[in-house]
Amino acid sequence: MKAVVQTGTGGPDVLQVQERPDPQVGPGEVRVAVKAAGINFADTMARVGLYPDAPKPPCVLGYEVAGEVESVGDGVTAYKPGDRVTAGTRFGGQAELISVPEAQVWPLPDRLSFEQGAAFPVNYSTAYAALVVMGSLRAGDRILIHAAAGGVGISATQMARNIGAEIFGTASASKHDAIRAQGVQHAIDYRSLDFEQETMRITDGEGVDLVIDALGPTSFRKDYRLLRPGGRLVMYGLSEASKEGKRDISAALKGLVSMPLATIPWWKSLAVMNENKGIFGLNMLKWWDQEGNLDRLADPLLEDLEKGLLDPIVAETFSFERAGEAHEFIAQRRNVGKVVLFPS
């Protein structure tokens, strides 16, 4: 089979299409003929050496795919060859074939394309964990979603819209129409405005109930100040450590040094108690490791996905041979929605 192999750490040129052995199909496993494979910001971070949980090169990245069941192992009862599915892959997804446990596979509604299916597992599970499990978002709450035009951002916006929240979203001005179409009521251009000041202006100084942020300590401090009593901040990334698809050493070091001071250092526990605010950290890979699957996050979304209440947005598709271009596209923040690879 063909696969996109990360041959080393560095620029987009370290991504090469190579032939690899077809994966075996063990008991309880489903082998999927991949039609589309999602790319996440974590893939770009792994490529430049800023994601310690990623496999060591040479390796095949990719957390999610959509395609057709090619074969099944002993004991598999829910799927048969030819079924349209989406799956969480826990690396190895950017290949023509992938074998995964049956529990990591979900049916792909007929109304969705394979490209849309590859935009579901990670983005929507992350958004559900941040908004519902950790964030306890309710109708009437105010939520600030950073990078609202990204894959997780759009997923979170759709969920917050369905819940009935008042939605604030940061994005460059050129993306404001797109995020408003998904449900953002207050679009903030982070390049020309201070999002903290603008959010406080719109809310008459009250702040918001929930912020989800994958940027880094620079914005975490502001996020925390924006929380009104009972407010929650969910931190799930450090994208400021990567710039234009390259490792930004100074930003990475600054982020690591600043991280303990960004929100609630241990000695500030009494102050946090008095401020009535909550801080959560979210690492989807660790969650996956600890629970063994994403069932608790993905399963509650399947009905809304089937009904069209959740609608994955695909920004652009690239062939396996253009994987490097896809990484650059994401690193330059050009996408509105998910960036997807397809076998060629």
Instruction: Express each pLDDT in 147-196 by its tens digit.
Output: 999 999 999 999 999 999 999 999 999 999 999 999 999 999 999 999 99
Same domain, 212 and 333: no
Same domain, 238 and 89: no
Residue 123 CA: distances (Å) to CA of 30, 151, 266: 22, 6, 31
pLDDT at 251: 52
Whether cis (ω within 30° of 0) applies to the bond prior to 217 is no
Kindly state whether residue 298 falls inside one of the protein's structural domains. Answer: no
What CATH number is associated with residue 17? Answer: 3.90.180.10
pLDDT at 270: 73
Q: What is the mean pLDDT of residues 275-292?
A: 92
Same domain, 38 and 70: yes
Kindly state whether residue 19 falls inside one of the protein's structural domains. Answer: yes
Kindly state whether residue 293 falls inside one of the protein's structural domains. Answer: no
Q: What is the mean pLDDT of residues 23-46?
A: 95
Same domain, 161 and 150: yes
Same domain, 221 and 151: yes
Q: How confident is the model at residue 257 (pLDDT cuts 50, 70, 90)?
A: very low
Question: Cβ-count burial of 274 within 10 angstroms (0-12 exposed, 13-18 middle, 19+ buried)?
Answer: exposed
User: d(Cα 78, Cα 36) in Å, to the nearest integer?
Assistant: 21
Number of domains within the chain: 2
List all residues 6 or more positions away from 322 whose beta carbon is below 8 Å from its beta carbon: none
Q: Strand pairing partners for 198? A: none
User: d(Cα 202, Cα 266) in Å, to the nearest integer?
Assistant: 32
Same domain, 78 and 202: no
What CATH number is associated with residue 275? Answer: 3.40.50.720
Domain that holds residue 333: 2-120+312-342
Same domain, 98 and 142: no
* pLDDT tens track for 67-111: 999 999 999 999 999 999 999 998 999 999 999 999 999 999 999
User: Is residue 253's pLDDT more than 80?
Assistant: no
